[in-house]
A and B are shown apart, each in its own frame.
Chain A
């Protein structure tokens, strides 16, 4: 018990120190209060935003958009990547184009998407999908290419047909790569979503909450937005992906936990 308490203290020490520093600067009044609010103000704002339900509306908007965009990217990316890995013609046709498009930040297309699809949710979701699908394509492709030839030959010798070969050998073998691609894709989608919300003027969303608060100099609301974004990002990584990995890849014995 004592050990646990000490552990908790050591972990929270940097945050306490940071908070104290912030408080000191805020109280000393180096910056105007409006621009550099004290932590109590930020905390009060956070509580009132949470109680009034405004915060949850924004969180829900962001998460729904993230999920939709990511689903598009995952569907397109995995299918395209697996096809590229399976069929050499597809690989040779599309690999150069994909490798060229991959390093271009999806954000660069944002103004173009606004021209094409207007403001709002549609271009935001499409752009999140477009921005995060390339890393999924490339990883799925690598995964299928990396299936051990020995397993393929063994399955062949044991009389597996095309379909069994695909579902029983290739998919489980390529899965660690595909999941890694999906994880990277989700992280990419997450990093870009917030600013897309700012540029696309969506109705509700954490990015929009931050952007809108700037107009009224509501620095406390902006800080709450950044804080909540950090928490959601951390939860995504810890809860969603580590869990998926545990249930599939680890159980099939492709990776040790």
Chain B
């Protein structure tokens, strides 16, 4: 029964996708726009295959993903210590919280023109923008996570004679880990947006955003659509594979998922 139900909803999902593709095909062939602007699926597929074979799609994806990861690393290096200190020490919280709440609503991409003036076009600017976008979700969630550690655990650890180091390593860190992961996930989403914008405006060597932007010059809408599709695939694949892998290895193994309110 349940597998029959599953397959029905699966086929409906497929039908939905086919329906959307069909709509696109009709729209493309209707001549409302010229086919140079809205190419039919067959042409997109052909171009996608071509840039997949000549390696440019993979190179660009690798560049973009590397930038996102580097920005994420930067964000973790800055954000996790600040977040932890903010959660542990009231004075640090009083100092950083106003700064964070003013800087957070500024879209990272608003800084691009300024960063270009300061650091020139290219890699540094793109990385800084990605890092800026990713840092605030990390800080915010780490801070929340450290404060949300069950005080009972802290007191019992202290009562059992844990010193500060042990308290931090064995109670605070695992206790805050679900929030830390949520923050990093959120940061990944932000970084993914920022990297596309950064690549379009700051002209680094290669990347999916750059490919889309460059393709406009040649009215190459097939390349643009194929690259957008690649962005979706890379984003989902990374989110699904990497994050879930890390999460099952750490947070779930430490038994923190249920304690954090039973996600999944």
Question: Using a CB–CB distance below 8 Å, which chain A residues touch chain B?
Answer: 10-15, 18, 31, 35-36, 89, 92-97, 100-101, 103-112, 114-116, 190-195, 198-199, 206-207, 210-211, 213-214, 217, 219, 222-223, 225-226, 229-230, 233-234, 236-237
Contacts and interface: CB of A to CB of B under 8 A. Distances in A.
A18 B225 CA distance: 44
Interface residues of B, number: 59
Given A13-B95, A97-B16, A112-B221, 6 more contacts: A93-B16, A108-B231, A198-B109, A226-B111, A226-B114, A230-B103
Contacts of B117: 35, 214, 217, 219, 222
A216 to B, nearest CB: 11
A93 B15 contact: yes
Contacts of B239: 103
Interface in B139-167: none
Given A14-B98, A104-B231, A115 B13 contact: no
B-side binding surface: helix, strand, loop or mixed? helix
Contacts of A18: 99
B193 A191 contact: yes
B13 A96 contact: yes
Contact of B109 (A31, A114, A195, A234): A195
A35 B107 CA distance: 21
A-side binding surface: helix, strand, loop or mixed? helix
A173 to B, nearest CB: 20
Nearest to A206: B110
B124 to A, nearest CB: 15
Interface of B: 8-9, 12-17, 19-20, 33, 37-38, 94-96, 98-99, 101-103, 105-114, 116-118, 189-190, 192-193, 196-197, 200-201, 208-209, 212-213, 215-216, 219, 221, 224-225, 227-228, 231-232, 235-236, 239
8 contacts: A93-B15, A96-B17, A103-B232, A112-B228, A191-B108, A198-B112, A214-B113, A219-B114
B231 A210 contact: no
B94 A229 contact: no
Contact of A31 (B9, B13, B118): B118
A243 B19 CA distance: 41
B94 A100 contact: no
A108 B228 contact: yes
Contacts of B107: 190-195, 229, 233
Contacts of B95: 13-14
A15 B228 contact: no
Contacts of B215: 111
Contacts of A10: 94
A214 B13 CA distance: 47
A132 B9 CA distance: 27
Contacts of B20: 97
A140 B98 CA distance: 32
A229 B109 CA distance: 11
Contacts of A31: 118
A234 B212 contact: no
B213 A111 contact: yes
A192 B107 CA distance: 7
B110 A11 contact: no
A14 B212 CA distance: 41
